[in-house]
Amino acid sequence: MTKRATTKTSGDTSLDEIIRLVPGYDPAATAGDCRFEPEAALRAIGFFEDCLVHIKGKWAGQPFLLEPWQKAILANLFGWKRPDGTRRYREAFIFVPRKNGKSLLAAGICCYMLFCDDEWGAEIYSAAAERDQAALVFEVAKQMVRAEPVLAEVARIYTKSITIEQRGSSYKAISADASTKHGYNTHCAVIDELHAQRNRELVDVLATSTGARAQPLIVHITTSDFERISICNEKHGYASKVRDGIIEDPAFLPVIYEATRDDDWTDPATWRKANPNLGVSISEDYLAQECKRAQESPAFENTFKRLHLNIRTEQDVRWLSMERWDRCGGDVRPDWLVGERCWGGLDLGATADLTSLCLLFPDEKAEGYKALWWFWAPRDNAERRERRDRVPYLAWEKQGFLELTDGEETDYRVIRRRVGEIVERYRIVDLAVDRLFQGAELCQNLADDGIEVVPFGQGFMSMAAPAAEFERLVNRGELRHGDNPVMRWMASNATVRMDPAGNIKPDKQRSREKIDGVVAAVMALGRAIVREEEVKSVYQTRGVRWLG
């Protein structure tokens, strides 16, 4: 159904360049034994440009000529193949602001999967939280099919479905009354405006209904959600980690167009960064008008940021810049620090959860600290988490960054023994622990072992100063963390809570994943700040007297 057979796209841009236009993501880096087939990519691009037309506005009836960012999505989705010939990508997250042509792209993907994927008995769905929203994409697709005689000839178009009876395939729109969605055999689902989903049920039902398909595809297309616990923010967090190389998932395509809270939201350069279709489906004049309205009306400012720049508008966003975190790497070897003075923080998780120990060593040659971490988790829980959430616990164990204790619960006897061994190697001034755990048996055992265990509160009074200092150390490159991969994962998860006075503290409840190592480091830093202030106070009040 397409006419294209070259390795160039329109504009003479090579496919090698096109597939690397996904912001911050290199598809080849995690391709493994997958291969890119130009003909397959061009087939998808050609279908859009040769068989589909715009159905609204000034371009109505004209061919759907793709922009480079749209070609990048399609070339990657449909051009990469596994060794068995099936598609590499099984899930995609396409994060673009309002008025960037999401519905048109979603409808086109559904049409391509119905007409060109050679899947017999294919079940294609465009899904949304509300029936009306789900119908938007379907209506666009229906008009596209009617406008192309070749497509209309092989399909039957009904009020609520498009079918190809020779293949037993169909395309329908569905909404989030997920109790009726069990029993489906989904080949492709495009979920529009994921941020509007009230819960994760529809997404989970569609994902679990793909098991019998050889090469299913789930595509999430959405604008930013508010900052809250939601399936949209969960998918955004996962996609960000895949993009940043924190999680390796070669079957997941992360397409994220967004500004950050550090960007000047009134600057047209920021608008261009977040809106790939600027100047095409959305004009700079329109954004200038909306931006002016936001500047004049504080109530509209958050709306502008969220809908047009994909900025979350609550305070608890990712706390630490991963770019700045990575700059703090450096070579920090445990053997170099044997016998050195340090402060410790021990964050005790629940019995089935992670426990983290952090030691902070003042850097005698430069400002800041060197850090070492140890992590423990029960093996059975770690294996489940790796299968379910794709967090590489077992790989971290093999690399020596995580110790797994046998069974479903953390063996605190192992932790007690290991902490004792660590104390033998390093000169720990004192060890901060959550004061809620102060009466716990492990803490009492550590105190009995001669370790100076200090209770440490988790409220703003105790955590605010060291949390602010921890952020400052990261931003200035003064925390040398040795590129510990577990800590990088936790740093990427960390969000903070802010009180009315502007004080911050790490927030485990709002963070999307584990941050135990961050909390342990902040507690250790809290003790270091206190003890160093005590030393300074002694010098200031007593003076320094040299004995010779």
Instruction: Over range 532-539, report the average pLDDT.
Output: 50
Alpha carbon dihedral 494, 495, 497, 502, in 10-degree steps, equals: 100
Where in the sequence is the domain holding 100, given as residue range(s)? 15-256
* Least confident residue range of 167-181, 182-196, 224-238: 167-181
Instruction: Over range 214-224, report the average pLDDT.
Output: 96
CA 242 – CA 252 distance, rounded (Å): 8
Q: Are residues 293 and 272 in the same domain?
A: yes
Q: Which residue has the tokens 């604008």?
A: 223
Alpha carbon dihedral 485, 489, 490, 492, in 10-degree steps, equals: 130
Q: Are residues 378 and 338 in the same domain?
A: yes
* Least confident residue range of 86-90, 169-173, 488-492, 503-507: 503-507
pLDDT tops 90 at residue 436: no
pLDDT tops 60 at residue 396: yes
Asked if the structure places residue 434 within a domain, the reply is: yes
CA 530 – CA 50 distance, rounded (Å): 69
Distances in Å between the Cα of 241 and the Cα atoms of 84, 171, 245, 399, 515 are 27, 32, 6, 20, 15
Distances in Å between the Cα of 356 and the Cα atoms of 85, 318, 344, 368, 517 are 44, 20, 10, 21, 5
pLDDT tops 60 at residue 9: no
What digits encode the pLDDT tens for the residues 131-179?
888 889 999 999 999 999 999 999 999 999 999 999 999 999 998 764 4
CA 142 – CA 137 distance, rounded (Å): 9
Q: Are residues 470 and 406 in the same domain?
A: yes
Domain boundary among 214, 233, 256: 256
pLDDT at 345: 96
pLDDT at 298: 60
pLDDT at 7: 47
Asked if the structure places residue 317 within a domain, the reply is: no
Q: Are residues 277 and 356 in the same domain?
A: no
Q: Are residues 252 and 279 in the same domain?
A: no
Q: Are residues 41 and 104 in the same domain?
A: yes
CB 379 within 8 A of CB 407: yes
CA 501 – CA 396 distance, rounded (Å): 39
Q: Are residues 239 and 277 in the same domain?
A: no
- Average pLDDT over the chain reads 88
pLDDT tops 80 at residue 29: yes
Asked if the structure places residue 4 within a domain, the reply is: no
Q: Which residue has the tokens 């998808």?
A: 44
Residue 229: which pLDDT band, with cuts at 50, 70 and 90?
Answer: confident
How many separate domains does the chain show? 3
Asked if the structure places residue 542 within a domain, the reply is: no
Asked if the structure places residue 5 within a domain, the reply is: no
pLDDT at 314: 57
CA 289 – CA 292 distance, rounded (Å): 5
Q: What is the largest CA-CA distance in the chain?
A: 101
pLDDT tops 80 at residue 336: yes
Q: Are residues 241 and 275 in the same domain?
A: no
- Which position has the higher pLDDT, 197 or 190? 190
| Helix (H) or strand (E) segment spanning residue 533 | helix 516-542
pLDDT tops 70 at residue 65: yes
Asked if the structure places residue 130 within a domain, the reply is: yes
Instruction: Over range 333-340, report the average pLDDT.
Output: 92
pLDDT at 407: 87
pLDDT tops 90 at residue 480: yes
Asked if the structure places residue 3 within a domain, the reply is: no
* Least confident residue range of 59-63, 139-143, 188-192, 381-385: 381-385
CA 193 – CA 98 distance, rounded (Å): 10
pLDDT tops 50 at residue 540: no
- Which position has the higher pLDDT, 290 or 502? 290
Asked whether the CA dihedral 99, 104, 110, 113 is positive or negative, the reply is negative
Domain CATH number, residue 498: 3.30.420.240
Q: 163-188 as b/e, with b when 16 or more CB fall inside 10 Å? A: bbeeeebbbbbbbbebeebeebebbb
Q: Are residues 236 and 165 in the same domain?
A: yes
pLDDT at 538: 36
Residue 546: which pLDDT band, with cuts at 50, 70 and 90?
Answer: very low
Is the pTM value of this prediction over 0.85?
no
Q: Are residues 277 and 241 in the same domain?
A: no
What digits encode the pLDDT tens for the residues 287-333?
999 999 888 766 578 889 999 999 987 544 568 888 889 999 888 98
Instruction: Over range 196-200, report the average pLDDT.
Output: 85
Domain CATH number, residue 117: 3.40.50.300
Q: Are residues 474 and 506 in the same domain?
A: yes
Q: Are residues 243 and 352 in the same domain?
A: no
Residue 58: which pLDDT band, with cuts at 50, 70 and 90?
Answer: confident
SS3 content of the chain, % helix, strand, coil (to 5): 45, 20, 40
Asked if the structure places residue 7 within a domain, the reply is: no
